Structure 1
Amino acid sequence: MLKTINLKKDIKNNKNTFKILKDINLDVKEGEFLSIMGPSGAGKTTLLNILSTVDKPTSGNVYYENKDISKMNNKELSKFRRDNIGFIFQDYNLLDSMSVEDNIALPLVIGNEKQSRIKEEVMRLAKFFGIEAHLKKYPYELSGGQKQRASAARALITSPKIIFADEPTGALDSKSSSELLNCLKDMNEKFNVTVIMVTHDPFSASYSKKVIFMKDGKLNARIDSSGNRKEFYNSIMNLLTSMGGEVNELL
């Protein structure tokens, strides 16, 4: 579904060139729930930004269903994002001047969908995320967990094939984190939406089906879940502990 070939990202600062991503080769299949982990500066968010078309690589290719999206122009990218991608951000990105209902509906309103379909989809997703009682409220009246679930509903309302989540539990308490992660897991399984999540948190990563670890701009290791989340969490913790040494299991 999503594939990168020899992906590189360099950033130039005066006369210096910093290599952020180094020959990333990654293959994400439809319906996967993938977490990307690694220490600060490993290149996690840069990789997510390139996969989600927010940024472009210095060299290499990003293929989505055999189309090279890294070569698309801005107009083509805009259409591609609208038709295929949803985003969940750490800081919610909700508009405080609009009700929760209107925030969730916004992508369909921009797409000139019929009001009847918009209302139907908003209610369906509000029920799925457990926020139907809060639709008439404004984001500043919600808890962090409720805001993030509203953000997730907005991300899903266009029926995207891929959801990109950048540290979605970073600003949440443990209860709200668990609620959101269970929603992401259900979303992945019930709607067959591919989820790619950047996280520093092993607990969050344990909800996914696969975890890849980055180190110094490279893919360094991978663990696949057997379906037992507790065992998967322990495996993630063990590998994170060993990341101080050389880890190259996998790829």
Structure 2
Amino acid sequence: MIKVVNLNKDFKTNKNTFKILKEIDLEVKNGEFISIMGPSGAGKTTLLNILSTIDRPTNGKVYYDNRDVGTMKNKELSKFRRDNIGFIFQDYNLLDSMSIEDNIALPLVIANEKQSKIKTEILRLAKFFGIEGHLKKYPYELSGGQKQRVAAARALITSPKIIFADEPTGALDSKASSELLNCLKDMNEKFDVTIIMVTHDPFSASYSKKVIFMKDGKLNARIDSTGNRKDFYNNIMNLLTSMGGEVNELL
């Protein structure tokens, strides 16, 4: 689905150039659930923003199904993003002036979908995420976990090929985090949607199928789940403990 070739991202000030991403090569296949981890400043969110077409690299290529998104003009890129990509952010990004029902519906309203389809999709996803009893409420009436499940439903309502999640459990307690992560896992498996999640939390990462570690703007290591989440969590913790050492051989 996604292929990244020799990706670099620089940030320039008046006197200095800082290399945020350095020579990134990466492939993401359909149906994967990948977590990206690493210390602060490693380039995780920058990479996520470029993969999701929000930002552009200094040089290098990002391909979606062999199509170079760097050649797209802004209008074409906006349409591509709308039709193929969903987002879940740490701070929910819900509109407080709109009901939960309207927040979920918003992407389809913007796309001028028929009201009958919009209503059907809202009810289907509300049931899936366990928020069907809250559709007439407003975001300020919900808990953080409920709001994040609303955000997940909104991200999924256009049937995107891929969802990008940036620290989606960062503002949640442990119970709400587990509920959301189980929803993400079910989304990946039942809707066959690819998920790329940035997280600092090994517990969250253990719900994914693969973890990629970043260090100093480079992909530093990768481990894959064998299906046992407890073992995967322990492997993630062990690798995080050793991140000060040389781990490139795991790629």
The 1-side partners of 2:220 and 2:42 are apart by 10
Partner of 1:189: 189
1:171 alignment partner in structure 2: 171
Asked if the contact 1:108/1:157 (under 8 Å) is kept, the reply is yes
Is the contact made by 1:98 and 1:138 (CA closer than 8 Å) also made in structure 2?
Answer: yes
Give the letter for the 2:181 counterpart.
Answer: L
Give the distance between the partners of 1:114 and 1:17, measured in 2 at CA.
Answer: 49
Q: Which amino acid aligns with 2:78?
A: S
| Displacement after TM superposition at 1:245 (Å) | 1.6
Deviation at 1:83, TM superposition (A): 0.8
Is 1:151 the counterpart of 2:151 in the alignment?
Answer: yes
Note the 1:1-251 alignment, pairs <5 A: 1-251=1-251
Please, which moves more after superposition, 208-217 or 68-77? 68-77
Q: Distance in 1 between matches of 2:249 and 2:43?
A: 19
Give the secondary-structure state (helix, strand or coil) at the position aligned to 1:195: strand
Q: What are the Cα deviations for residues 198-244 of structure 1, in whole angstroms up to 9, with x where unaligned? A: 00000000000000000000000000000000000000000000002
Q: Deviations over 1:13-36 (max 9, x none)?
A: 111000000000000000000000
* Secondary structure in 2 matching 1:214: strand
CA distance in 2, matches of 1:80, 1:48: 16
In 1, the alpha carbon distance for the partners of 2:218 and 2:224 equals 18
TM-score by length of 2: 0.99
CA deviation vs aligned residue, 1:84-135 (integer Å, no higher than 9, x gap):
0000000000000000000000000111111111000000000000000000
Distance 2:113 2:14 in 1: 47
Paired with 2:250 and 2:77, the residues of 1 have a C-alpha distance of 32
Gaps of 5+ in 1: none
Q: CA deviation at 1:73?
A: 1.0
> Conserved in 2, the CA contact under 8 Å of 1:163 and 1:193?
yes
Amino acid corresponding to residue 95 of structure 2 in structure 1? L
Asked if 2 retains the 8 angstrom alpha-carbon contact of 1:187 and 1:193, the reply is yes
| 1:53-77 alpha-carbon deviations (Å, 9 max, x no partner) | 0000000000000000122110111
Letter in 2 for 1:93: N
Between the aligned partners of 1:60 and 1:73, the Cα distance in structure 2 is 17
Secondary structure, aligned partner of 2:207: coil
RMSD of aligned residue pairs (Cα, Å): 0.5
How far off is 1:10 after superposition?
A: 0.2
**What percentage of aligned pairs have identical amino acids?**
86
Decide whether the 8 Å contact of 1:222 with 1:249 is kept in 2. Answer: no
Report the CA distance between 1:249 and its aligned residue.
2.9
What residue ranges of structure 2 are gaps of 5+ in the alignment?
A: none
**What letter corresponds to residue 110 of structure 1 in structure 2?**
I
The amino acid that maps onto 1:236 is I
Q: Which runs of 4+ in 1 moved over 6 A?
A: none
